[in-house]
Amino acid sequence: MPTPTAVADVELNPAQRRVVGHGDGPLLVVAGAGTGKTNTLAARVAALLTRGVSPERILLLTFTRRAAAEMLQRAGRLADPASSRRVWGGTFHAMGHRLLRVHGAALGLDPGFSVLDQSDAADLMGLVRSEQAASTHTRFPRQDTLLAIYSRVANTQRPLRDVLTDAFPWCATDAATLAAIFGEYVERKRAQELLDFDDLLLFWARAAADPCVGERLAGLFDHVLVDEYQDTNTVQAEIVQAMARRAAGVMAVGDDAQAIYGFRAATVRNILDFPAVHPGAAVITLEENYRSTPSVLAVANAVMAEAPERHDKQLWSRRPDRHRPCLVHCADETTQASAVCDTVLAHHQEGVRLQDQAVLFRAAHHSDLLEVELGRRKVPFVKYGGLRFLESSHIKDLLALLRILDNVYDELAWFRTLRLADGVGPATARRLLASLGVRPRADAGSTSADRLRHVMAQTPRSARAELGALAEALAACGDEAHVEPREQIAQLRRALDPIVRRSYHRPDARLHDFEELEHLAAAYRSRGQLVAELVLDPPAGTGDLAGPPLLDEDYLVLSTVHSAKGGEWDAVHLLHAADGMFPSDLATGRPEEIEEERRLFYVAVTRARDHLHIYFPLRYYHRRSGLDDAHHYAQLTRFLPDAARDLFDTRHAGLASPEPPVAPGTVRVGVGAEVSRALQDLWR
């Protein structure tokens, strides 16, 4: 019997071969973690290409750009690299964007629309919010909450009132005001030709359902393949159904045990209902795990065994067992950070590259202390998840200028740009918008540079030099046909230089980011393409672009569990396995939320090939710094029940005795707090 240790490019097990060899017609693949899903999907694409399906008639929808690129690269190795590159592959949002640029006009969409990222959308929501009188009362939801509610309505396609009672009960009394704000928000986007992330899906779904445009769209593809189907939402399922209605084949791959995007309105119903929605669908289950050792899988299975809703898959592996998973009890967070460093470096000594190890955690800030410690010990690392490159304010400044060039009526971009200048705040900026002919619209045909020069006299004297420089830079970028995107960035960067130096604390790192952006821009043919792709597929990593200069160097991977989806490493270090951190105590309100946290924990565990280390800090300080040492003792995560703990070796870091000095959960207040309370009592 052939026993593949890893799924080699040509070596597939019988179930995988059935997937690859499946003819036309709908197909659902239920693929447990580590069962060779990526290879199988890649082999299927390769098989389609070999069968003579033309690459541009294949649509491959994945969760991230990276996943699509990797699958197509593997498919290229199996079939023909040149043709695999012509396959339509990417995220729902990126593919929607691409299709809408070409076919959106038929829906009345201006082909020059701009795409708002999450924080732009929130800003626009905030603008509308501030204009609504009723929104001033206390407890009125903030702009981010407003966007979250709006987005949930859009993605679930359920009435506002239901969404409020279900997910945002504390906002239910404001339903009428919310409806008014959302109405204005939608109107504002329409007037300024802006599409937010949700719109990319909604317009695509609308277009695909349209009797005329929809036929044309559906006619573009013979095969539709969707990865991570358990994390799609209602609108995405509608898109798949509509796009596949003329296709020879539609295939969805997913694992209900790995559904972790409920907060983004993803619904497991999609994968469960696939056979009903696509009649005659074949269902193939992949259960043999090629990634992890049996003892890692035992932990994963034990975690899921506690789920009230049964997932009737048991992962198994033929791999030999070598190391038992390790549960590390740490005195506190600081000890955890150094214990992780120690273990990472010990593995490194044994020959496991840093790149083959990952540190995973629930929330982006959970790695803060570790990052300091890694820096101190000079261990190179890259972090995924959390604050993105694009969200740093200097990058948004530069992007705002690009967006003005692209869409001269983009109110938000103007608002941001104007305030860059010394002496221009919200009040002046708002006044200038009218003179610029942006809101209300005027002077059709006049360029951004002209408009800016025209209002110069109305700006404070202190702002004129900087605004003048910006206007010149905008003018220099104006001729899209002759000025390369890279040169445009160079121009804008020069004008921003003094502003960045004046307004940011450590300007050099930020100016360096501009340089990186300039290099990045060389890969794009047009400014519009650059801006859109940057928004839809921002560079990962933090601070600087952890790009080419690091490539030859070995580095440790730090990642949120969400961002680690689809990844695998020889050694996985999972931080903060304490109740309150994982599961996050923000997500323990409703049973569904806890179940999603459990699946998230399962995803984290199943990323490990050979070594699994789970760290549990016993003591959490309430204040990071300060004189008093108020802290509490944590409890081990509820996802590791007693039965599961027998699967681990136990280690202790920074602890004289393995037991906590007081019962878990008790709060002790340190000396400093007692002193200050005594002082308080003096004048009470």
The residues that touch DNA, with contacts defined as CB under 7 A, are 63-64, 91-94, 118, 126, 130, 136, 138-139, 141-145, 170, 197, 260-261, 263-264, 362-365, 384-386, 422-429, 460, 536, 560, 562-563, 584, 586-587, 622-624, 630
In the complex, the smallest distance separating the C-beta of residue 17 from DNA, rounded to whole angstroms, is 31
Phi, psi of 599 (to 5 degrees): -65, -35
DSSP character at residue 307: -
Give the nearer residue to DNA in terms of CB position, either 141 or 254.
141
d(CA 576, CA 510) in angstroms, rounded, equals 32
Give the nearer residue to DNA in terms of CB position, either 46 or 67.
67
In the complex, the smallest distance separating the C-beta of residue 528 from DNA, rounded to whole angstroms, is 18
Total residue count of the chain as it appears in this document = 684
447-to-38, 116, 407 alpha-carbon distances in Å: 48, 21, 10
Give the nearer residue to DNA in terms of CB position, either 126 or 478.
126
In the complex, the smallest distance separating the C-beta of residue 444 from DNA, rounded to whole angstroms, is 28
Give the nearer residue to DNA in terms of CB position, either 365 or 377.
365
- In terms of Cβ atoms closer than 10 Å to its own Cβ (0-12, 13-18, 19+), residue 495 is buried
d(CA 313, CA 198) in angstroms, rounded, equals 33
In the complex, the smallest distance separating the C-beta of residue 385 from DNA, rounded to whole angstroms, is 3
d(CA 559, CA 572) in angstroms, rounded, equals 11
Give the nearer residue to DNA in terms of CB position, either 30 or 432.
432
Which residues is 361 bridged to in the sheet? 560
Instruction: Decide if 601 contacts 639 (C-beta within 8 A).
Output: yes
In the complex, the smallest distance separating the C-beta of residue 594 from DNA, rounded to whole angstroms, is 11
Instruction: Decide if 254 contacts 31 (C-beta within 8 A).
Output: yes
Give the nearer residue to DNA in terms of CB position, either 143 or 293.
143
Give the nearer residue to DNA in terms of CB position, either 385 or 528.
385
Give the nearer residue to DNA in terms of CB position, either 55 or 566.
566
In the complex, the smallest distance separating the C-beta of residue 196 from DNA, rounded to whole angstroms, is 9
Which of helix, strand or coil describes residue 341? helix
d(CA 460, CA 468) in angstroms, rounded, equals 12
DSSP character at residue 10: S
Q: How many helices (H) and strands (E) does the chain have?
A: 28, 17
In the complex, the smallest distance separating the C-beta of residue 460 from DNA, rounded to whole angstroms, is 7
In the complex, the smallest distance separating the C-beta of residue 320 from DNA, rounded to whole angstroms, is 34
Of 526, 507, 420, which Cα lies nearest the Cα of 470? 420
In the complex, the smallest distance separating the C-beta of residue 505 from DNA, rounded to whole angstroms, is 13
CA torsion through residues 661, 663, 664, 668, sign: negative
d(CA 11, CA 17) in angstroms, rounded, equals 9
Give the nearer residue to DNA in terms of CB position, either 24 or 585.
585
